[in-house]
Amino acid sequence: MNNMEEKLWEYIDGRCTPDEQESIGALIAEDESIRLKYNQLLRFSQELSAMEIDEPPMAFTYNVMEAIRAEEAQKPLKASINKRIIMGIAAFFVLTIFALLVYAAAGIQWSSVNIISQIPSVSKLPEANNFITRPVIMGFMFFDVILGLFLADTYLRRKKSTKQL
């Protein structure tokens, strides 16, 4: 009977081949028990097609569009940070390094043959102990921690937004 029911459902859903449709149609016409079953399943199928679906709350569309608008509003700010500020900072560092290199190159006496032997006398390197003091180390560590937290936050935000997609 299960097999017959399966065939009847296929007949009702319109998923039979023309041959199957003909043979099942003939069975329905000939066999009263099959006809009864068919009528029962057909009525059930019609009820399912006619059932009402749920209605979302009145403000549903508004809420969706508000959420989208809020998300869209955040995008230009993100873009300006990425393109202008980051590029500006990068340009500042590149220019600083370039200026330092130019300044250092200008101080070197290129005409001198034995330049290597002159380096110790020309460049008087400052004492490292004068600069690497405890507050400097603490400041450096603090900067590292802040930078680390900032990078971790950026990474987690990016991961979260990728997950949401």
Partner 1 sequence: MQSKLSDIELIEQTLAGNQSAYTDLVKRHQRFVFTLAMRFAKGREDAEEIAQDCFIKAYRSLASFQGQSKFSTWLYSIVYTTAMTFLRKKRVATDSIDDENIHIQIENHSGYDVNNVENKSKSFYLNQAIEQLLPDDAAIITLFYKGEQSLEEIGQAMGMEANTVKVKLFRARQRLKEKLERNLKHEVKELI
Using CB under 8 A, list all residues that contact partner 1. Answer: 5-6, 9, 15, 40, 43-45, 47-57, 60-61, 63-65, 67-69, 71-72, 164-165
As measured in angstroms, the least distance from the Cβ of 34 to partner 1 is 17
Q: Which single residue is written with the structure tokens 């900072």?
A: 89
As measured in angstroms, the least distance from the Cβ of 145 to partner 1 is 33
| Cβ closest to partner 1, residue 58 vs residue 106 | 58
| Cβ closest to partner 1, residue 63 vs residue 154 | 63
| Cβ closest to partner 1, residue 62 vs residue 143 | 62
Handedness of CA 150, 152, 154, 157 (dihedral sign): negative
As measured in angstroms, the least distance from the Cβ of 64 to partner 1 is 5
Contact call for residues 112 and 118 (beta carbons, < 8 A) = yes
Cα(114)–Cα(64) distance, rounded to whole angstroms? 75
Cα(72)–Cα(13) distance, rounded to whole angstroms? 44
